[in-house]
Amino acid sequence: MAEYNSLELIRLQKIEELKSEGIEPYPTRANRTHTAAQAITLFTETEQDGPESQPVITLAGRIRGIRSMGKLTFAHIEDGSGRIQLFLRINEIGAEALAFFDKMMDIGDFMEAEGKLMRTKTGEITLHVARFSLLAKSISPLPADKDVTQEDGSVIRYAALEGIELRARQRYADLAVNPEVRETFRKRAKIISSLRRFLDNHDFLEVETPILQPIYGGANARPFTTFHNQLKQQLYLRISFELYLKRLLVGNLERVYEIGRDFRNEGVSFKHNPEFTQLEFYWAYADYLQVMDLTEQMISYTAKEVTGSYKVTYQGKELDFSPPWKRIEMRQGILDVTGIDIYAHSQATDLEAAIRAKGYHPPANTTRGKLIDYLVGEFLEPTLIQPTFIYDYPRDISPLAKSKPGDPLTVERFEGYAAGFELCNAFTELNDPLDQEQRFIEMGRDYTAEDEELNLLDEDYLRAMRYGMPPNGGFGMGVDRLTMLLTNKHSIREVLLFPHLRSEEQSGSDSTGN
RNA sequence: GGGCGCGUAGCUCAAUGGCAGAGCAGCGGCCUUUUAAGCCGUUUGUUGAGAGUUCGAGCCUCUCCGCGCUCACCA
């Protein structure tokens, strides 16, 4: 049962009074004829015809502010298009209706109002209300109860909902009072539709592949597990789309992509959520260089569509997504920032010694690839503010990428970076079933038996490959991360409507935690 | 999981170990062009939960819950 505070109890009392007067606090239908934005456009077009010729219109929205002045009352309502002022005067609506408005209507209520548009003394386009009615009574007060529109159109909010936790837990209230949050999620939708349009225009076919998978793979992460009761089958929530999308290349679908949810049972941080939106595409007869070209086209196209420019400001820095992006060979990039030439150290032990000789502290007893990855993450990645491709990765941390001809330790792989973090990951895909089987086995050898990150050997994937897979380039990108960049948000929680949060059930009610 | 920090009214925030407060919202008045309307009056609390130290705890100690930052993990 809900427990009501004193403000809510007063509104519940009002609901009872409404009902006793035969007024439905939650009527079934509304009769809106115009949105707030349409009304303002309409008035600017018809104002010169004089007040008498103004049409009678009906607006609907949520009450955001009330200023009662005795025999007249001003209010603002807000709908999906914006905000508009209402003017209620005793001359038109009568003493009884005005008293009803002042007594029974609250900030947060939905209402509709009928009347003609006018302009007030201060010049604001306003609905001169002849009739109004309640559409939905609000019981809990909205967290932001005061705000004001400036002359330049910006809105200053007082006592706004600001706690990040509360905003994420009660996103509905956050959205209701913070228009810029609504704008962030409109941009997010636009990002996804732009990516989709770009790929559709390049003859990619959008597909959907299983989220519930008997074997997970395609990335190195711990999965969520679940169970199918009737089949008595252990299943995993996918950690990537890769292996299913590449099966489709075997089936002669030459260009495929999927935008959907991945699930990784890992730590949560400002850039990691347990479920996140991923874009992957696979492109037959292309290699990683062509994928690089397409990537910078796709992301710059999306940036332009969403923000109107190739240049965006992120956390105070201007990022320029105009193609071409800077391209740095990994060996050279590491050499530049650390002075270590990874090609001079083909064994993990040599490389580790070389790193320690520089006074750094790499992970001990690991593979050459993981040492290189440490160097990239620690020294190179933070320097990559402008969009940059790092290319040619070590083979042993890239089990699904194709070797670079003539270089057995290196694969044709690149990652795209911006603002100092990884945005996307792509390679010339391994299409040799015998090599792939060998890689899976090698991967298995790098991990202990209990290691959940183990890439389970996917026999069906190898069977598909044996039918023949065309040479191809593949690509994966975190859509949430791109959204952070294009909406200037530091935390992934700001670009997810309902980010993962711990349960609040025990909060403040029980000290035992049970 | 480790480290650091935070949690006070519906919202935003104050309060040397010594009577828990302000603004907004709410409630009662006045007010026929306001827009953070204004003026007068007024209500609102298990200070996240529990235990301890103390004559006395919002403040100090411990445990727990939640959140933030950060490190690790996430190639």
* Token pair for A307: 């923000």
- Confidence (pLDDT) at A271: 82
Q: What is the mean predicted confidence (pLDDT) over A247-274? A: 91
A window 284-343: Cβ near strand B (< 7 A): none
Q: What is the mean pLDDT of chain A?
A: 87
Answer for A106: CB within 7 Å of strand B: yes
Q: At what angle do helices A242-250 and A459-466 cross, to 10 degrees?
A: 30
- Confidence (pLDDT) at A2: 58
Q: Which nucleotides along chain B are within 7 A of a protein C-beta?
A: 1, 7, 9-13, 23-28, 30-38, 43-44, 48-50, 63-75
Cα distance between the two ends of chain A: 20
Alpha-carbon span A299 to A161, nearest angstrom: 33
DSSP assignment string, A306-356: HHSSSEEEETTEEEE-PSSPEEEEHHHHHHHHH---GGG--SHHHHHHHHH
A window 39-78: Cβ near strand B (< 7 A): 65-72, 74, 76
Q: Which fold has domain A6-141?
A: OB fold (Dihydrolipoamide Acetyltransferase, E2P) (2.40.50)
- Confidence (pLDDT) at A483: 93
E runs forming strands in A400-498: 403-404, 407-418, 421-428, 472-478
Alpha-carbon span A113 to A57, nearest angstrom: 8
Q: Which nucleotide is nearest to A141 (CA to C1')?
A: B10
Query: Which one has a higher pLDDT value, A456 or A153?
Result: A456
- Confidence (pLDDT) at A315: 82
Grouping H, G, I as helix, E, B as strand and the rest as coil, residue A198 is helix
**Burial class (CB within 10 angstroms; exposed 0-12, middle 13-18, buried 19+) of A266:** middle
Q: Where residue A512 falls among pLDDT bands split at 50, 70, 90? A: very low
Q: At what angle do helices A90-104 and A6-20 cross, to 10 degrees?
A: 130
Q: pLDDT tens-digit profile of A18-56? A: 999 999 999 999 999 999 999 999 999 999 998 888 999
Q: Are A450 and A243 in contact (CB under 8 A)?
A: no
Cross-strand bridge partners of residue A474: A282, A427
Give the Cβ contact number of residue A189 at 10 Å.
11
Alpha-carbon span A256 to A206, nearest angstrom: 6
Helix, strand, coil percentages in chain A from 3-state DSSP, rounded to 5? 35, 30, 35
Alpha-carbon span A314 to A405, nearest angstrom: 38
Q: Where residue A453 falls among pLDDT bands split at 50, 70, 90? A: very low
CA of A308 to C1' of B70 (A): 35
Answer for A121: CB within 7 Å of strand B: yes
Answer for A400: CB within 7 Å of strand B: yes
Q: What is the mean predicted confidence (pLDDT) over A98-125? A: 94
Q: Which nucleotide is nearest to A490 (CA to C1')?
A: B69
CA of A143 to C1' of B11 (A): 5
CA of A4 to C1' of B44 (A): 13
CA nearest A477: which of A418, A430, A411, A394?
A418
A window 133-152: Cβ near strand B (< 7 A): 141, 143-149
**Burial class (CB within 10 angstroms; exposed 0-12, middle 13-18, buried 19+) of A238:** buried
CA torsion, points A428, A431, A436, A439, in degrees to nearest 10?
A: -10
A window 419-438: Cβ near strand B (< 7 A): 425
CATH numeric code, A181-325+386-494:
3.30.930.10
Grouping H, G, I as helix, E, B as strand and the rest as coil, residue A18 is helix
Could you tell me the residue ranges of all domains in chain A? Answer: 6-141, 181-325+386-494
Q: Are A423 and A477 in contact (CB under 8 A)?
A: yes
Q: Omega of the bond prior to A324 within 30 degrees of 0, cis?
A: yes
Answer for A158: CB within 7 Å of strand B: yes
CA of A319 to C1' of B2 (A): 34
**Side-chain half-sphere exposure of A18, counting CA atoms within 13 A:** 21
Strands A255-263 and A205-206: parallel
Q: pLDDT tens-digit profile of A271-295? A: 888 899 999 999 999 999 999 999 9
The pTM for the full model equals 0.89
Q: Which nucleotide is nearest to A413 (CA to C1')?
A: B75
C-alpha Rg value of chain A to the nearest Å = 30
CA of A89 to C1' of B31 (A): 13
CA of A160 to C1' of B13 (A): 12
Q: Are A308 and A300 in contact (CB under 8 A)?
A: no
DSSP assignment string, A237-299: E-S-SHHHHHHHHHTT--EEEEEEEEE--S--BTTB-SEEEEEEEEEET--HHHHHHHHHHHH
CA of A267 to C1' of B73 (A): 6
Alpha-carbon span A417 to A372, nearest angstrom: 17
A window 189-228: Cβ near strand B (< 7 A): 219-221
Is residue A507 pLDDT above 50, yes or no?
no
CA of A22 to C1' of B64 (A): 50
Q: pLDDT tens-digit profile of A351-385? A: 988 988 888 888 777 888 888 988 998 889 888 99
Alpha-carbon span A388 to A376, nearest angstrom: 13
3 state SS for A41-60: HHHHHHHHHCHHHCCCEEEE
Handedness of CA A353, A358, A361, A362 (dihedral sign): negative
Residue type, A74: F
